[in-house]
Amino acid sequence: MTSELLIPLTVLVLNGSDERHRTVASALPAGEADLLYLEDLGSTAEPVKEFIDLCIVDAGTDDNSTVPLVQRVRRRWPLVGICCLGCTDVVAVLEAGADDAVPADAGPEVEAAQLAAAFRRARGATSELRVAFGDLVYDREARRVWCAGKEVMLTPRELRLFDILFVRAGAPVSVSTLQDYVWKDDFPRESNALAVYVSYLRRKLGASQQATLESVRGVGYRLARRG
């Protein structure tokens, strides 16, 4: 397994104007960021995605509203980098939990450089966690899976099945081991539940050109390289 396959980082931009959106897009490496735009997290609303790799907050000229926004972001994503742009009170924003705070009077070159630096740090943090097997990439800590460059949404049971097959990629895993790992003591022994979930997983990983989920006769299943 390797960690060389480049996966776009999920970057959430909060409170940004159209001009700010263009600034962010131009400062980040082309094709390496999946940009999501949101006006505000709101008090109860869920963000667009459960997981993000970097958050960029446009402070505008109102640090009074930016500080609680940064605090909410930090509570939800304790380990994610937060970069605030256009701050009038840098100290307050940093104390609220931001990792970078660009003053409102900073020039566009400084702003672009800070954005690029924040992105590089986010890339470095994720590269150590994301492991590739062919064109499948798995971040076991965040429980995220990508297939052929696109993130795949797995149910909790599908994820447990993928987890043990990925960790043992290249080697067959027995039916009994899979049943015990995925279902623990709840597996209905007379059912074909394992075969059903293997079919679900195969379908969701069907876009892979380099990996396949094989049946191993008389043993179980194996995540293997194609060819």
Q: Is 123 within 8 Å of 106 (Cβ atoms)?
A: no
Non-local (6+) Cβ contacts of 30 within 8 A are none
Q: Is 203 within 8 Å of 152 (Cβ atoms)?
A: no
Residue 2 domain-assigned?
no
Of 78, 86, 93, residue with least CA distance to 125: 78
Identify the pLDDT of residue 61: 58
Q: Is 168 helix (H, G, I), strand (E, B) or coil?
A: coil
Of 84, 120, 119, 78, residue with least CA distance to 99: 84
Q: Is 17 helix (H, G, I), strand (E, B) or coil?
A: coil
Which of 93, 111, 127 is the last residue in one of the domains?
127
Entry pTM: 0.73
pLDDT, tens digit only, all 227 positions of the chain: 554 567 889 999 998 788 888 999 999 998 899 899 988 776 445 545 678 899 999 987 566 788 999 999 999 888 899 999 999 899 999 999 999 999 999 988 999 999 999 999 998 888 878 899 999 999 998 899 999 988 999 999 999 999 999 999 999 999 999 999 999 877 776 678 999 999 999 999 999 999 999 999 999 999 999 97
Domain of residue 41, residue span: 9-127
> In terms of domains, do 57 and 166 share one?
no
Residue 77 domain-assigned?
yes
Q: Is 16 within 8 Å of 66 (Cβ atoms)?
A: no
What is the length of the chain?
227
Report the CATH number at residue 206.
1.10.10.10
Bridge-partner residues for 225, per DSSP?
A: 211
CB neighbours of residue 78 within 10 Å: 8
